[in-house]
A and B are shown apart, each in its own frame.
Chain A
Amino acid sequence: GQSLEQPSEVTAVEGAIVQINCTYQTSGFYGLSWYQQHDGGAPTFLSYNALDGLEETGRFSSFLSRSDSYGYLLLQELQMKDSASYFCAVRDRQSNYQLIWGAGTKLIIKP
């Protein structure tokens, strides 16, 4: 079946750079998306990769390598407000466009 794996928790220091990985097993999908969710809030869209390579949006970048079944979200110049959970997701080609989600990575930022 289709699945996405992410680390459950990552810790980093304010001002640093952190990478959150997403590896997947799926027979075919459209692009890879990333969402951010603060405690008590709803997920919000961060980034999307349709093709292999790097996409940059301000302090956030996302990368996809289909040949390696791998993607990551890169957060630079970490701020305390970046403390949140981050989810990767793909749109599955095989099951009528169902969205498949990773279990999420909790990012803890220390001063």
Chain B
Amino acid sequence: EAQVTQNPRYLITVTGKKLTVTCSQNMNHEYMSWYRQDPGLGLRQIYYSMNVEVTDKGDVPEGYKVSRKEKRNFPLILESPSPNQTSLYFCASSSKPQGLRRETQYFGPGTRLLVL
């Protein structure tokens, strides 16, 4: 079954304690990205990656890191979480964007993070 998986699904942590949210896709997609979603603000892109070893900042990259060492995995790292990073996080993947050709974003189930 084609899917994007994220772990953990729920996480409560404290300020400053490093954490990693994993993301993995089994569709051989080149493009992967991370979003955070907060009430009234829609989806805001944190980082995205066009392929292995290629990452770019999205709209809200401060306080986050990512890596893309393998095509299927795109972990999100919070080195020193703060309460303003409490949010719902989604990982997504798609085939490589090519001009006007439609490419569908497949989203993971989401990770709810609470930073105390």
Contacts and interface: CB of A to CB of B under 8 A. Distances in A.
A103 interface: yes
Contact of A42 (B33, B90, B101): B90
Contact of A101 (B40, B42, B56): B42
B100 interface: yes
B43 interface: yes
Interface stretch (B17-25, B70-78, B79-87, B105-113): B105-113
A41 B64 CA distance: 23
Contacts of A30: 97, 99-100
Interface size class of B (residues with CB under 8 A): 20 to 34
A42 B42 contact: no
Contact of A99 (B41, B105, B108, B110): B105
13 contacts: A31-B102, A42-B90, A42-B108, A42-B109, A42-B110, A43-B92, A43-B105, A44-B107, A45-B105, A48-B104, A98-B45, A98-B56, A99-B105
Given A44-B107, A101-B45, 18 more contacts: A8-B40, A30-B99, A30-B100, A31-B102, A33-B105, A43-B107, A48-B102, A50-B100, A50-B101, A51-B100, A95-B56, A96-B50, A97-B31, A99-B45, A102-B42, A103-B40, A104-B42, A104-B43
